[in-house]
Every structure is written in C-alpha cells, then in structure tokens.
A and B are shown apart, each in its own frame.
Chain A
Amino acid sequence: MTAFILRRLAQSLLVLFVTSILVFGGLYLVGDPIEILVHPEADQIEKERARVALGLDKPVVEQYYLFLKGALTGNLGNSFVYAKPALEIIFERMPATMELAILAMVISVFLGIPLGLYAGLRPNSPFSRFIMTSSIVGFSLPTFWVGLLLILFFAVNLGWLPSTGRGPTTDVFGLQLSIFSWEGLKYAFLPALNLALLKLALIIRLTRAQTREQGLLDYIKFARAKGLKSSRVVGVHLLKNILIPLVTVIGLELGSVIAYAIVTETIFAWPGMGKLVIDSIFQLDRPVVVAYLLVVVAMYIIINLVVDILYSLLDPRVRIAEQH
C-alpha cells in the first residue's frame, strides 16, 4: 500500500511538472499582458518599465526557470493584476468554490440515491419511468442555460431568492463560509442546485443500474428467502454493495464539479476560483491561470488517490498492494 501511494505521488509530481510546462509555454504565446495592464496612454518607456517589473523582459526559458524555482518553495508568482501572490488569491477564493461544490454533491447524492434505488427496484412503475426520462432530460440540459432559467424563474419572476452574488460569510475554523447562515444559504441555493443537476442525473442512472444488477444476485435472493424484511435487504445488504462503485463515482465527480463551477460561478457572479480564472484568462493574468490549473490538477490527483484507496478499503476483493 505504501509503495503504491509513493509511486502514485511520484507520478503526480511528473504530471504537475508537465502541466506547468505546457500551460506556461502555451500562455506565453498568447498576447502581451502589458498591453492590457498598462493604461492606454502609457508611452514606450512606461511599458518597458512595467515589463521589467513583472519580469516579462526575460526569455521564456529563464522565466520558466524562475517560476519553477519559486514553485519549489511554494511561490507560484505574483498576479499581474492584483500584485499579490497568485496562490494567496486562489486560496482566498477556494472556500467559496468548495462550499458550492460540496453543497451540490450533497444535493445530488441525497436526492439521486433514493430516486435511483426506487427506479431500480420497481423498473416498470410509471414513477420510475418518469424518473428515468427526466434523468435523460437532466443529462441533456446545458448547465449554463439552466442557470439562466433558474435566475429568470426564482429570482426575476418569483423574487424568492437573490439572483447573483454570495451572501454574508461566517468564520468557521478560520474559513469564510456562507452556507452556515440562512441568508448565505439563500444565495448559495440556486448555484448549488444548478451545479447539482447534471450529477443528479448521473447518480440516479448509476444507482438504478447497480440496483438492477445486484438485485439479481444470489445473496439478495438468499436474504429475501431467509425472510428478512424488505427494508433490511435494501437498506443493509443491497445499499452496502451498490455504494462501492458509487463512492468511486461520487469522488471523481467532486473533481469535475469543482471544474464545472467555472460555468456556474460565471453565471451567478459567485466569487470563487472558477470566476477568478475566467477573469484572469481575459486579463492575461498568467500567474493566476497557471496557479489555478496547478491547484486544481493537484486537487484532482489527491481526490483520485483517495478514491482508489477508499475503494480498496471498501471492497476487500481489491487489494492495492497485491496488484502492484
């Protein structure tokens, strides 16, 4: 197990390194940030001074070398726009994105598993058919457009919920979170629902497929033959076994929810890191874009690793150490 984790971590460092080269090199080819950063009437001397101040006068290889040297000490460079360390800005924005992502996952898991179980246990009932057809529609709905509809319906027409922005935050263990106050939750609800919809459809379909597959296996038949109550067969025997693949998917989807938060945050003007990176791309704020990608890729790698380990713990048939 230890060897496995070490090997994976070493691989991850390689992936991070390659990502940094590709992104750094790629972004270097795009436009001149100076033209955007300096006010339009600046003359050549002022522009040159800014260029030197930001280190943009050096050749790209040297810029990358300096970046890498800083990265090893945990410094991913200063933002051109905010003149603060890029990492610091990202970590400031991260709680906002994470609370949105986690709230979205909670919504989709607590709605998706029961609905999927029902559709799997009673595949022919009208309600199950309704669930399954809706889940295809849910799959097909473009997230950003649903976001617009949610704003239009709940905020503009009904006026029940605020349309955009983040509510007041409270300090929770040093993190600024908004979902622990009623007012904050009102702001978070629509974006979280928007983010949850796609995953909800996925979890319903996966739970249903698993339920149908497992429901036919001998251990379920045996449990029923033993005369166990249906609630116990489903709640204990079945649920335990379908949760194994579900945990994997839910874990991996958390990563994708963090990435898709870019879209939701843009629509709802939610001040998370997704909104930050879109703004930074347009402002050619390279250090922030590079730092965002490295942070998200690192989070991805960690989530993947945790899911793999969790999977082997949940399913005794899979033992990582023996495989490698």
Chain B
Amino acid sequence: MTTDKQAKEKIEDLGKELVKEVLANKPPILNVPVRALSNIVFNKQKEALELGNKISERNFFNVAHAKKFLQTLEVAAKSKDLLALGKHASLRDVFYMIKRTIPNTKTNIVDEQSESDNAIEDLELLTNLSREQLNINANKMGSVAGQVVIEDKGDEIDWSKMGSGGWSIPSNVEEIKFKKVKAKYVIYMEKAAVWERLHEDKFWEKQNCIIMSSQGQTTRGIRRLLQRLSQEHNLPIYVLADFDPWGFYIYSVLKFGSINLAHMSGSMTLSTARFLGITADDIEKYGLKKQLIAFKDVDMTRLKQLQNYEWFKHSKDWQRQFKMMQTMNAKAEIQALSSRGISFITEKYLPEKIKNEDFLM
C-alpha cells in the first residue's frame, strides 16, 4: 500500500523534475502514455487490455499542449494539498477547485469536468498512482445486497440487513474487510431497476447470492469489489445486461478492462466473469421476439466495432452472438422479461440459467 505521504512525495518529485528542467532553460515536458485504442494491447495470457508503450510528449511551449499541461499541473497541486490534509475530494470537487479564469484572458483553466477528469487520468499515469491513492474519489453509484458481513472504517455491516436500498458501494473499497461470506456467487446487473426487482423478490436470500448494480456506468469501486470477491472468495461473477452492443461491452469492460483504464488493468480485470444474459438464444427460448427494439445506425456501428476487438475476434461463441444480433437487427432490454410476468426473471429465468450453467465466457 502506498501511504498518503509516499503519494505526496511522488507528486512533488514530478514538480521538482519539471522545475529542474525549467531552471536549466529546457522547455518543461510531460511524457504521458497515450490512452487510446491505438495504444491498447490485448494481453492474451492475462486476458486483459494493457497499455502499449506509445508516449505523447506534452511540451508546455507548444500551443497545442500548453493548456493541457497547465491542467495537469493544477490537478497535481490540488491532489498534493488533499494528501497533505488527509482529505478526499470527488471528481466534481476537483473540477471546481481548479476552475477559474486565467488573468488577462477569456480562457478558463477548465470548462468541462471531462477536462479535469482527463488531467487526473494523466496524473495517474505520470505518478503510477491510482486516483484513489491521490485522494480523489468518484461518486458512489452502486448498491449491493446478500449474505455477506463486512467491516468498513470500524463499522460492521451486514449486506443482508440493509433495508430496501441495500448498501451503497463507496468509491474506494480497498479498506473493506470481508468478515463472513456465505453467498455462493455474484450477479452484477446493468440496471438499478432490475436490482430493485431482485431485491424485492429476496432473490439473494432464496438463491444465496450477492446482487450488485450501478446506475449506468460500472464504477471503479464496483469493479474492484467484484474483483476482490472473485479473487479472495472464489465467487463466480455473473453479468446480467441488455441484449445490445452496449450491454455486451459492459461485460467486456468488467472482464478485460477498458481502454481508458488500461493502465490499471491489473487491479480491475475479472477473468472469471461470465455473461449470463440476455443472449440471442434467450430471445428465442424465452419468447422475447415481440419485445425487440429495432436497431439504429449507431447500434450497428458499435456492433461492428465489437466484432473486431482483438479479445472477441477469436471467440466463436461471441462471434455467433454478434452475428445473430446483426441478423435480428434489433436489441432487447433486461426488463423485456417482465412481459412474461413481473417475477418471471427471479422465479424462472435466472434460476434456470444458473442451474443449467447457460452462460457465455
């Protein structure tokens, strides 16, 4: 573990290095690894996306780079302050902490949060520290329920006794200790609404499992928590997502890592993840044809991109799914199952799928 003090020193070193260049009359340059598909390598052995070795040179004395250079330094300075104070800030906080107008200009240091977020990712790459280690957190966004007892900051928490909302997953889950894990597997789902269904039907109790969801994006906290449950307690992870290219990609990110976070793939990937549904075969088997929604152009474009990803290219099963989706030229949401009955998902669909081990790897 990196302590706050060590993290702070790493950031300070970055600054000292640059000042040394400046005082030697050399233009200050940051060497940031390129975070784009062009610099992503799929490690077949580890089954994970990793960053290649393309470096983009960010020279302050280059019109195209000056602003980004400044943004990165601003973020570094703020992170250093946070570490010194032992406080945490959200991504949004950091955005406001550095947002201001540069004197004598009409230029703001940042105009949108995406700019400060990018600067933070640069800082992660430059210091080799994760965002959490820099005391910058994302918003909590996920819920969990199941037969698990944990300890967090001295509090004991029973995930089976969290009322109707479940326990909300913090952005940093490194400090959590698992006290008792009775559950046998985890279902991670794309939709909070589906989680509510499973929770109301006490699915986790009946099936002795953990149900987890996020609102939309799979946050780093959730990915890390899933990884820990998989690695430390050997729990299989099942992914329940929409039958569309975006749903497939949620699985892809969980399993192989994402392009933006390729530099953190070691602590993020989940080689044991399995795609439970909705699959193209489910559409047939569970009579969801009437619930299909016609593809738009963007869907088809995205599907074609997925088909060509290195990590899907050689999987016959996945290529078959892609092809079937292409032929249907349509997609379906998880909630399409409700057409068969409100609790069809918890009483029939999920138990059957899990029992028959009907999933994709």
User: Are A and B interaction partners?
Assistant: no
Q: Which residues of A contact B (CB under 8 A)?
A: none
Residues of B within 8 A of A (CB): none
